[in-house]
Chain A
């Protein structure tokens, strides 16, 4: 059970407070309700580039990291298609430094041309390092537009292409900040050995005078229901053929989201999972196979990916894969298999709850979904899943017309 308090400032900032007297560290986690899905199609990669700029100095403070390090702390951030999340971890006695820094960059950035120029280059190198200079590195740049036609999930957080990052202008940066970086669009969590009273006092002091702005209205194009099987084959200089089957799955706030998550575990999370046992161990068609979900807030993807064994064709794999999927639709899970999957969830939740940062981040994410207390109900929700739920969701989801298949064909050297 993660205990927490919640209060709101007049300017719209939502604050969560989590008291933990056992740790000497404190966490300040700030979630901004903006991600790559909020970009326009001709300016992709912007939310992520912006995350980099948030470390390039704010209106009153030239450098973000140095004062935090001076206070014995460190900081990082990540951008997803849905959110941008910043966190600081530091000794609790110095928590005020983190609040000073975070509140100043919520107030306004420095917007220096040098910072924009350098971070553009850094992000371009990141693009190369992660997506271009790795075997199979670019598959998500191909898979997203295959699976999504309208919804902005059709591009990756890094952006559609390097050109969009190269072309980012200071005007774009300022407009993005104005629209998305203000108290009403943020959820803050303070975690550690600090009282609610002290938290309230410090938050009011540092965040109270930040002007209020209207929360931007999100009007994303709705993804039309997929009604046909989609496939694409790309050729790359990689050592082996690889495959990516992507199925549309329910959005984050639905009960079926959790069911789909369990289905992905059943198919390909562990070495006892169905695809691993059948396709790798028994039929030896693949050298690796995994199933996982993207965890998106809007309609997401359940992905099955893997690599073919030498000499095995895509057709052989396809046949065996669909047989395994259909089996899941045709026959309900045994009580043992259901229990096995849910027991793993229980252990995982217990371990996740150990970390202070994890707790703070999860509180913020659940608050974004509607109620921070959702974090305490998650396990019960999973444990309520039955074999019937699984069979029904599998039947709805694991259909050919709900699937987009990307094949990576290895070019012979």
Chain B
């Protein structure tokens, strides 16, 4: 159930960098320095077995279950109006969350990497807050803030704004949980780039905007794109926080992960897996784009 997407979202960005095939390197080393053949096979086998058991098997199971009754029922479950509405809402939430966090992430990264100011360390820590806090709690915070008795709830009610148990709440919760990805990708890239090129641009007569768009942004563009993709994966796969603020009104405030859960709880296994396969496909597309970008980033 949506596990594919959620897993992509939670992978810490740096741990995914490939270190140039360790197996190949071992083989070219002098004999004395490598492990005995038996140990090597055992460890490789263990790793592959683990990978198959925990990643490939569930992924295949999603599609096998989804297509259990054949292609016709699969298409019916996917085309069903509530499923389509859930897909639309998921894409809508991501369409708000990604641009918002893109702007925020680049701005925060820029401030943190290029300037020294009081509270800089605090800001760096705060950016990671959505990673540290359980998504359910993130959702609760929004309910507490914007709910009937909440701090901003009465204000919202006065202005006839429905936030919790409505689309705005889902968008807010999604923005919150997918908030660190861009900033975390951009900060190291910006720090590595330093400030010299910006200084050079200024001395050559460039203004603030010209410096940003002609010098700063091109230097970090792959980092920004990579962050946006991770952010998107998390935004589409988010379950916990959205589940709390959504209210799960079918066809209205149900996102794809929530819809999968509802179907599953109603023993509609085939439909649940069919909808889950949509999420999985989104995750696979995200992974492919990510891999392409990663190659660009490291070359």
State whether these chains interact: no
**Chain A residues within 8 Å of B, Cβ to Cβ:** none
